[in-house]
């Protein structure tokens, strides 16, 4: 991590106070916010630069000039309300709120840290008006706020930023039609039309067609402009204000990565060989240095043009980036010199292998092909890859259609989106008696940096009552391959495969062949038995067992990949003599493995440790500790249950 420098608030205030020309003021502040957003993301180890930058001029124009919010304050009933529906552009918004003094310096520097700034917007952070991060809810929410303002006779407009890729999500059209029907003229949507989503062109993933005509067909007044041109934005929003009967949209044509030459679309896309590298994740040191230098140089030029004395930067304390919640970070701890593994790599790799064996295998994606490691399948079997865009419901019902007509679909998305957003579609598909494999990526508490929109700690409960569906989560690469093979080749009904997205904290020796309903004893011990699943929690379970061992207590640890079906005989064997049965959930304690075990073993005392309340945002260790799920806390919690007699049980 290089030494980081921030633009201090005093410098931002200097520009805000001294520069008379509003256009120059907004543009200069926007570039200054870009600098600070970049620093915050680098410090956090992850975050979304590309769309923070594409949306930055619009955000700066709105917060520094167009809206009354900064003047009235974020509690005032007559304030204008601005929020971003896509949410991942929040580093830019945080930078603007820091500039306005709404977010203090110390908190601004704690992006994606516990008690700092959530990786996606959360109303617990000052200046944040709505929780977002899961896409497509913003227009509806804005409709609700605008309706409330009108009903209560309050002043203020509502401006909702949406991404263009996000407009693939069907809920947007529900919100559009309702707001038009109600003539909610207090509602303005601004589209950050940067033409890229996740890592490819929107036109390539699923075309939006002529965006303006979509909005018009839904009864909205439409303005279009260059989203980096402040006078053009001013005119567009002025025209919107004059609409008395219709909600309005400003389609702001923007450039993803705007402000840093090598992050800008389309240059960045062609340099990335067809994929855009700056959507999520922090730049490496070299890229950071170059981007930072370029941005600061532009700000200095602007200062010179405006007759201001040069910009002064302020150094920032360094942080231990090994603790960062980055998806691409190294594992935090490990068993010696082994290279980190990602179970999701094994998933992607085995999927390609299965594609060769099974011609009926079709892979579906909802614009997360890289994160879900299905890009390799797409490249290997382009005619068996179905891209659905950011539209999980459509993906699932499409899979249902494929499955009814002789194909074997594997549908991929993040667990929090797939299991929740498409829940009724999954029920409907399953009710047809067909088979679909659902790959629930990004399952569990970790990584915790992106915040609660992305942390999936309910997905098991959401699928548990679905007849004929088996839910599994592997703990190692070998087990991932084996479970996927079982799901594709042997399982009779639906299988939901939960997958951790980050690096496995340690390599686990798990069998390369699976036996339905049977787990694997990782450690023997007679004081009690602990069931866990997934690489993250198995590591914590073993860490706890190691600590207990050092204290003279022997804990059996069972890796249990089968989360809702058990081999009764095996289970009886394992549980046999144990008085103390523990379950460590990478999930809420409600609706997951412990509940399933209690149903199967009613009358047996089973103590569950899970994610209580809302999943904490922060580094992995911060989040685990907050929930008492790190190895050390678990050792303490189990010791308390085992009581004084435990030591004898070693």
Residues 595-624 that bind its own copies (CB under 8 A): 595-596, 598-599, 602-608, 612-614
Count each helix (H run) and each strand (E run) in the chain, helices first. Answer: 25, 20
Nearest distance in Å: CB 396, its own copies: 8
Nearest distance in Å: CB 130, its own copies: 7
Q: Candidates 75, 317, 383, 492: give the one binding its own copies (CB under 8 A).
A: 383
- CA dihedral for 148, 151, 152, 154, sign (positive or negative): positive
Q: How many CA atoms lie within 13 A of 634 on its CB side?
A: 32
Q: Candidates 27, 46, 52, 172: give the one binding its own copies (CB under 8 A).
A: 172
Nearest Cα residue to 446 out of 284, 319, 625: 625
Question: What SS3 state is found at 466?
Answer: coil
Nearest distance in Å: CB 603, its own copies: 3
Answer yes or no whether residue 471 interacts with its own copies by CB under 8 A. Answer: no
The span of 27-35, 122-130, 316-324, 471-479 binding its own copies (CB under 8 A) equals 122-130
Answer yes or no whether residue 213 interacts with its own copies by CB under 8 A. Answer: yes
Q: What is the per-residue binding string for its own copies in 74-93, x denoting contact by CB under 8 A?
A: ---x----------------
Answer yes or no whether residue 122 interacts with its own copies by CB under 8 A. Answer: yes
Answer yes or no whether residue 534 interacts with its own copies by CB under 8 A. Answer: no
Of 262 and 427, nearer to its own copies (C-beta) is 427
What per-residue string of b and e applies to 105-137 under the rule 16 or more CB within 10 Å gives b?
eebbbbbbbbebbbbbbbeebebbbbbbbbbbb
Within 405-434, the residues that bind its own copies by CB under 8 A are 405-407, 416-417, 420-421, 423-425, 427-428, 431-433
Interface with its own copies: number of residues (CB under 8 A): 114
The rounded radius of gyration (Å) of the Cα atoms in the chain is: 26
Answer yes or no whether residue 452 interacts with its own copies by CB under 8 A. Answer: yes
Of 316 and 420, nearer to its own copies (C-beta) is 420
The span of 142-150, 250-258, 477-485, 548-556 binding its own copies (CB under 8 A) equals 142-150
Question: What SS3 state is found at 566?
Answer: coil
Tell how far CA 185 is from the center of its chain: 32
Of 364 and 635, nearer to its own copies (C-beta) is 364
Of 38 and 437, nearer to its own copies (C-beta) is 437
For residue 471, the surrounding DSSP H or E stretch is strand 470-472
598 and 488 in contact (C-beta within 8 Å)? no
Of 197 and 397, nearer to its own copies (C-beta) is 397
Annotate 389-422 with DSSP letters as a single string.
-S-HHHHHHHHHHHHHTT-EEEEEEEHHHHHHHT
Compute CA distances 437 → 377, 380, 473, 483, whole Å: 15, 19, 13, 11
The span of 101-109, 319-327, 460-468, 518-526 binding its own copies (CB under 8 A) equals 460-468
d(CA 127, CA 73): 9
Within 20-39, the residues that bind its own copies by CB under 8 A are none
The span of 68-76, 261-269, 383-391, 511-519 binding its own copies (CB under 8 A) equals 383-391
Q: What is the per-residue binding string for its own copies in 235-274, x denoting contact by CB under 8 A?
A: ----------------------------------------
Nearest distance in Å: CB 135, its own copies: 10
Q: Residue 530 has which token pair?
A: 């602990």
What per-residue string of b and e applies to 483-509 under the rule 16 or more CB within 10 Å gives b?
bbbbbbeebeebbbbbbbbbbbbbbbe
Nearest distance in Å: CB 407, its own copies: 5
């Amino acid at each position: 991590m290089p030494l980081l420098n921030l633009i201090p608030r005093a410098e931002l205030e200097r520009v805000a106070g001294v520069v008379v020309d509003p256009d120059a003021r907004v543009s200069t502040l926007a570039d200054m916010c870009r600098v600070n957003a970049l620093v915050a993301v680098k410090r956090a180890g992850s975050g979304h630069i590309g769309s923070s930058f594409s949306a930055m001029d619009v955000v700066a124009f709105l917060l520094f000039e167009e809206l009354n919010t900064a003047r009235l304050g974020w509690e005032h009933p007559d304030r204008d309300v601005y929020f971003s529906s896509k949410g991942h552009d929040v580093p830019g918004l945080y930078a603007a709120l820091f500039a306005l003094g709404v977010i203090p310096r110390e908190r601004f520097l704690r992006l994606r840290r516990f008690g700092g700034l959530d990786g996606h917007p959360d109303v617990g952070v000052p200046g944040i008006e709505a929780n977002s991060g899961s896409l497509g809810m913003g227009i509806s929410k804005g409709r609700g706020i605008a309706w409330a303002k009108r009903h209560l006779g309050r002043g203020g407009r509502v401006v909702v930023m949406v991404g263009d890729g996000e407009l693939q999500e069907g809920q947007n059209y529900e919100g559009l039609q309702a707001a038009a029907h109600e003539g909610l003229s207090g509602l303005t949507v601004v589209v950050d039309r940067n033409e890229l989503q996740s890592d490819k062109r929107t036109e390539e993933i699923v075309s939006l067609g002529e965006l303006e005509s979509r909005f018009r067909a839904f009864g909205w007044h439409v303005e279009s402009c260059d989203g980096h041109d402040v006078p053009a934005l001013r005119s567009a929003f002025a025209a919107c204000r004059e609409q008395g009967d219709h909600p309005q949209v400003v389609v702001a044509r923007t450039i993803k990565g705007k402000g840093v030459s090598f992050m800008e679309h389309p240059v960045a896309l062609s340099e990335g060989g067809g994929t855009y590298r700056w959507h999520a994740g922090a730049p490496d040191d070299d890229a950071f240095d170059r981007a930072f230098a370029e941005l600061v140089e532009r700000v200095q030029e602007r200062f010179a043009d405006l007759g201001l004395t040069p910009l002064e930067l302020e150094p920032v304390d360094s942080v231990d980036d090994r603790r960062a919640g980055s998806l691409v970070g190294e594992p935090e701890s490990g068993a010696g010199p082994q290279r980190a593994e990602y179970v999701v790599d094994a998933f992607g790799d085995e999927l390609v292998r299965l594609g060769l064996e099974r011609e009926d295998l079709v892979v579906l994606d909802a614009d997360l092909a890289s994160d879900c490691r299905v890009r390799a399948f797409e490249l290997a079997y382009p005619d068996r890859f179905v891209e659905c865009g950011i539209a999980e419901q459509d993906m699932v019902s499409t899979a249902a259609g494929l499955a009814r007509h002789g194909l074997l679909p594997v549908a991929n998305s993040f667990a929090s989106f797939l299991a929740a957003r498409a829940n009724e579609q999954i029920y409907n598909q399953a009710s047809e008696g067909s088979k679909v494999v659902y790959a629930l990526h990004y399952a569990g508490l970790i990584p915790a940096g992106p915040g609660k929109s992305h942390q999936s700690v309910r997905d098991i409960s959401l699928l548990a009552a679905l007849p004929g569906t088996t839910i599994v989560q592997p703990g190692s690469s070998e087990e991932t391959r084996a479970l996927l093979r079982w799901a594709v080749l042997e399982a009779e009904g639906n299988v939901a495969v939960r997958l951790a997205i980050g690096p496995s904290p340690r390599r686990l020796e798990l069998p390369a062949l699976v036996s339905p309903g049977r787990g694997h004893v990782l450690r023997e011990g007679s004081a009690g038995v602990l069931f866990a699943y997934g690489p993250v929690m198995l590591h914590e379970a073993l860490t706890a067992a190691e600590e207990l061992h050092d204290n003279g207590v022997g804990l059996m640890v069972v890796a249990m990949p089968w989360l809702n079906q058990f081999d009764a005989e095996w289970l009886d064997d394992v549980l046999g003599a144990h008085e103390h049965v523990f379950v460590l959930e990478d999930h809420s304690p409600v609706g997951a493995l412990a509940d399933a075990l209690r149903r199967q073993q009613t009358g047996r005392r089973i103590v569950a440790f899970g994610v209580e309340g809302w999943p904490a945002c922060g580094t992995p260790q911060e989040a685990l500790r907050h929930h008492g799920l790190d190895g050390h806390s678990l050792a303490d919690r189990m010791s308390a249950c085992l009581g004084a007699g435990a030591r004898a049980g070693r």
